[in-house]
Each structure stands twice: as structure tokens, then as C-alpha cells.
Amino acid sequence: MMEKTVLINCSPKQKLSVSGFLMKCAGVLIRGKKEYFHLRTPADYPAILQALKGAGKVVFVTPLYVDSIPSHMLPFMQEMEELCRGNGLRLKVYVIANNGFIEGKQNEPLMQVMENFCARSGLTWCGGIGIGGGVMLNVERIMITVMFGLMLLNVLLSAVQGGDVLDAVLSFGKSLLGLVILACGIIAFGIRLAVHINRGTDAGKKYTRIMLPSFVFIAFADIFFIIVSVLQGGIFRGWLSRFQPDAGCSIITENGK
């Protein structure tokens, strides 16, 4: 009988997180019983810790925040350490990390932190993948959904007007292929990781990225932030200004005050 796998989305975002998407994708490839969780607040701890008691494997899917794990994960990890040490749990731990920069290798400090956590908790570190440019996966899934809708519309119109239905399908197929090529490294390493998770073996640490030259990715990222900043108004509110802390900034204790 296969051991249960617990998958934890560690993004603090409520919706549309890349980590949540990656967790669902990984879940499709992992066999056996699975449980999915979203770790955001201490209220989420009891259910996750309870699920871990009956599991053999756990997959943390997390964004990179300032070269490490997001801060809200730390108190959970401390509670998990206590639980595992107290109950002699020997879970196998896998990590899928993603970051907004193009280089997957920038996830290395986060991977080491998770490995150190395993050593402290008596867990088996089994590695994982670090993904660069993970935010593009969000763009891709939105594009695929829109393109699929357009294809259905084209097929319908072609059928009504007596046109070539196949043209619309082929056009969608070509666009889809382009998006798959951009994500081919992530798909390949994702499948490889899933094979290791299913076998319960050490996957090692592997780093991959969206298959775009970095200068093209940077151009896309800059355009994305310009558009969002125009829509949200930040561009008109001192977008790049060197703001000073207000006089009453309560977090500072200064000399002479």
C-alpha cells in the first residue's frame, strides 16, 4: 500500500498563486492517497499537523521571499519539528520552490534551509526542484484558458459558416506548443520529481527555469509591472522615489529621541 502524501501550498496569497498551481500539477502526477493544504495562518496548523501524523511523504510548494522561505512558514516548521521529534515521525520531505527571477539557482538558500529543517526534525530530506521565472506559469495558464475559449468560439463560427474547423484547432495547437516549449524544463523536472516521490527515493536538488533568454524575461517583467502600476496608480505616486520614513515612524528608536 502506498504511503499518503501531504502537499502544502506555502504561498501567503489567497488565490492565483504559482505555488498553488504547481501543487495541483504535482498532485496530478503523484500516485496514492493525497491531501492538499494551504498554509497561511496559525489556524491552518492543526489540520496539516494531523494529516502529517498519518503520512509518509510531504511536499512543500513555496515561493522564494528575500532569498529564503516566507516568514509565515517558520512558526509552522517549529511546530512540525516538535511533532515529528515527539512522535518519531520519519517523513520524506520534498520541496518545489519558485521565484520571480529567471534563474532557478537563486532558490539554493531556501533549499538549504529546508534541508537544515529536516536534519533538526529527524526527517528524511529528499530534495526537490527550484524554478526560475515561475510567475510566467501564471501568465501561461491564463493565456491557455483564453486561447482555448477563442478556439471554441472559432470552431463554432466555422461550423456555422461552413469554414474549416481544423484550422482553428491547429492554430490553438501551435500556440499551446509554444507555451509548452517555454515550460519544458519545468515539465521535465516536474515529472522526474514525481517519479522519485512515487518511489519514495531521493530526488536531489535540481534547478530549472522558463526557457526564455534572461533579457527577454526582464523586458516582459518590466512591461508587466508598468501596466499593473498604471492600473493601480502607483506610477503617479512617486513610483521610483526615495521616500524617507515619516517623523512618527513608530518602529524606529533613534538617538536623542
Partner 1 sequence: MKTVIHDLGKEQNEKILASTDRVVCADGRYAPCQGCFKCWTKHPASCAMKDVLHQACRVLGTSDDLTIITENRYGSYSQAVKNILDRSIATSTPFSTYRKGQMHHTLRYGKRNRLHLIVYGSLTDAEKNTWQLMAERNAINMGFREYSITFCADAEEAGRTA
Residues forming contacts to partner 1 in the complex (CB under 8 A) are: 11-13, 17, 63, 65-72, 74-75, 77-78, 101-103, 106, 108-109, 112-117, 119-120, 214, 217-218, 221-222, 225, 228-229, 232-234, 237-246, 249-255
Least distance from partner 1 to the Cβ atom of residue 81, Å: 9
Distances (CA, A) of 194 to 67, 68, 154, 203, 249: 25, 23, 36, 9, 48
Question: Residue 148 or residue 239: which is nearer to partner 1 going by CB?
Answer: 239
DSSP per position, 123-183: -EEEEEEEEETTHHHHHHHHHHHHHHHHHHHHHHHHHHHT--HHHHHHHHHHHHHHHHHHT
Which cell numbers hold the place of 255?
538617538
Q: How far is the CB of 52 from partner 1 (least distance, A)?
A: 17
- Kindly state the smallest distance separating residue 182's Cβ from partner 1, in Å: 17
Closest approach of partner 1 to the CB of residue 222, in Å:
6
Q: Which is nearer to partner 1, 8 or 30 (CB)?
A: 8
Name residue 218's amino acid: I
- For partner 1, the closer of residues 13 and 34 by Cβ is 13
Spatial strand order in the sheet of 124-132: 34-38, 5-9, 57-63, 92-99, 124-132, 205-209
Residue whose grid cell is 501596466: 227
Task: Compare residues 148 and 224 and give the one whose CB is closer to partner 1.
Answer: 224
- For partner 1, the closer of residues 94 and 217 by Cβ is 217
